[in-house]
Structure 1
């Protein structure tokens, strides 16, 4: 079993790729963006601005960067379908 398959079978993956996880990713991205805008003159603020791309894009486009990084599918829909096929 590959690392991406193990991740996508986990409870965390089920949650983060579901509707609650998508809302969380959007909210987290907005928080990172707001913090980054508030502290944009510091290195930490710039880092928060850059990092906000990942949760915002994951929430908006319904994708999973973690699964992609581990070599698995990018689409949360594909991940959920594979999870339902195993249940």
Structure 2
């Protein structure tokens, strides 16, 4: 789960925010059906801003970034 640890790190949060802004920017600048890309960009933007990882539940981990860190530490201790 290194990718999940990266996404829940401070750098990963910044990457998600930047990715969301880039997708929104591309979608807004191209217009037409490209607005769908801007709407999709809202997900990584919100995930970065509000510290949640949408991929974590697929690996039976909590959605919340804070709870993810707690669960990761608990698994490392066990």
| TM-score higher than 0.5 | yes
What is the CA–CA distance in structure 2 between the aligned matches of 1:36 and 1:72, rounded to whole Å?
Answer: 31
Q: Deviations over 1:10-37 (max 9, x none)?
A: 1111111111110000000000010011
In the TM superposition, residue 38 of structure 1 has moved relative to its aligned partner by: 0.4
Q: How many residues align?
A: 75
CA contact 1:18–1:80 (8 Å) conserved in 2: no
What is the CA–CA distance in structure 2 between the aligned matches of 1:72 and 1:86, rounded to whole Å?
Answer: 11
Q: Secondary structure at the match of 1:82?
A: helix
What is the CA–CA distance in structure 1 between the aligned matches of 2:37 and 2:22, rounded to whole Å?
Answer: 9
CA contact 2:4–2:55 (8 Å) conserved in 1: no
- Calculate the TM-score normalised by the size of structure 1: 0.78
Superposition RMSD in Å: 1.3
Runs of 4 or more consecutive aligned structure 1 residues displaced over 2 Å after TM superposition: none
For structure 1, the residue ranges without an aligned partner over 5 or more in a row are 1-9
- Calculate the TM-score normalised by the size of structure 2: 0.86
Q: Secondary structure at the match of 1:65?
A: coil
For structure 2, the residue ranges without an aligned partner over 5 or more in a row are none
What is the CA–CA distance in structure 2 between the aligned matches of 1:79 and 1:27, rounded to whole Å?
Answer: 22
